[in-house]
Amino acid sequence: MEQFTPSSKYNSNHWTTNSGAPVWNNNSSLTVGPRGPVLLEDYHLVEKLAQFDRERIPERVVHARGFSAKGYFEVTHDISHLTTADFLRAPGVQTPLITRFSTVIHEIGSPETLRDPRGFAVKFYTREGNFDMVGNNIPVFFIRDGMKFPDMIHSLKPNPKTNVQEMWRAMDFFSHIPESLHMFSFLFDDWGVPYNFRHMEGFGVHTFKLINKAGKETYVKFHWKPSCGVKFLLEEEAVIVGGTNHSHMTQDLFDTIAAGNYPEWGLFIQTMEPCMEDAYDFDPLDDTQTWPEDKFPLQPVGKMVLNKNIDNNFAENEQLAFCPGIIVPGIYYTDDKMFQTRIFSYSDSQRHRLGPNYLMLPVNAPKNKHHNNHHEGFMNFMHRDEEVNYFPSRYDPVRHAEKSPLPQNSFSGKREKAIIKKENNFKQAGERYRTFDPARQERFLMRFVGVLSDPKVTDEVRKAWVFYWTQADASLGNKLAAKLNMPAIQSGM
């Protein structure tokens, strides 16, 4: 008997149950007489309703609202001297991929015009397994230690009493977190509402390591640059666009690809020798900081082209799962505290949403051959006929893979809960604000005035924000104080 893998291309020409039995009536319940009552023995009815009742899986706590597209990555510049990563081995090499763009805070049905960071996640299906580059459209993040992440998200989510997102809660929380200032210099800038996905930059956010054949390590930052440029929506435009179509970003991406106008991004890297990490006034592993491009210029690597829409939103968007811990030989983690905690948190979240075997789902499974003894558990649908499910065994010829280079640095120190030495919370935020033209500076200022003018924001919270922005830029701090009818605060206090 021919064996079929689960796929709609093998659909029969008549209705069946999930177990394949024919269904001769998919319109009427089995009843006693034409008017009822309904019989519980109507297996197809019970299966159909039970399946429908379970159609929704748990919503992502963050990045719930998003959309995906498929395509390929092509290497255009040789960086094989920096990494053994197979998919980066030479110019011309192409690797299939899927990308998911998303908002961070808001729920699945929320408008795509809301001010929010955007997720920019790419799953490369390489010959050595998958590589998940899980980033955002902003190059920095709010916090530098994952211990704060649940509290941060709680402050940005709806008030548990009113179920309304109220920014006084976020202003209160972040008034204790001066490291967030650089992130807010993006979020409250025009940057905070992208025009659409195609006109949006992407960043790996964290510092990664590249490792070459000789075991040499290089720090690296990843940047995605859209070929069509970067554009944003101002408040008045966002109201009009969002009021017309609250899925405008999703529709634009789908329609553009369907029309054959394939979106494209260039991948660039910044590199740094690890021996130089103490030479600067910031910690290069700190995800709240960027690397100045005049000191660390962008180097081209390749291009991503999205040339195919997904076939099914549930299978290839809702069930699509990323984890920063999924890397390939030649790319490795750094000691960035936020990066380290995400390695656990993302995979743990996906196991909760999709089950322990979520990496078997077609959209998440590697395209190369793979083998291990991770099996059984909920929804394990891999066909296995081995008798040996342990290692090592003289009955199974499977062996260890060829060893790949790993970081060789050693560690010493006492156990402690501590902050990094070089916080430098204000410098880069101020530098970024000073790159804005006067009109853009005014828009940025008035967005902060708006949220800090909420009656539930206390004077203590306002004073903290005025103090922070004064340290970043004295003129900005003074303007903010004046707009809030508060006394100015001296810089450097």
User: Does the annotation place 195 within a ligand binding site?
Assistant: no
How crowded is residue 456: how many other Cβ atoms within 10 Å of its Cβ? Answer: 11
Catalytically annotated residue among 44, 63, 206, 248: 63
Q: How far is CA 443 from CA 23, 80, 235, in A?
A: 62, 44, 10
Q: 229: closest CA among 187, 192, 264?
A: 264
d(CA 8, CA 10): 5
The answer to whether 27 is a known catalytic residue is no
d(CA 42, CA 22): 13
What single-letter amino acid sits at 112?
E
Q: Is 136 helix (H, G, I), strand (E, B) or coil?
A: strand
First-to-last CA distance in the chain? 80
Catalytically annotated residue among 130, 136, 196, 364: 136
d(CA 358, CA 411): 34
Q: 421: closest CA among 274, 290, 281?
A: 281
- The DSSP string of 200-246 is --EE--S-EEEE-TT--EEEEEEEEEETT---B--HHHHHHHHHH-T
- The DSSP string of 374-418 is ---STT-------S--SSS-TT----PPPP---------------
Q: What angle do CA 185, 481, 139 make, to 5 degrees?
A: 5
Find out whether the peptide bond into 58 is cis, omega within 30 degrees of 0: no
What's the chain's Rg over C-alpha atoms?
A: 26
Q: If you count them, how many residues does the chain have?
A: 493
The answer to whether 63 is a known catalytic residue is yes
Residue with tokens 């929804």: 379
Extract the tokens encoding 270. 């910044």
What amino acid positions are annotated as catalytic residues? 63, 136
Annotated binding residues for heme, written as ranges, equal 346
Annotated binding residues, written as ranges, equal 346
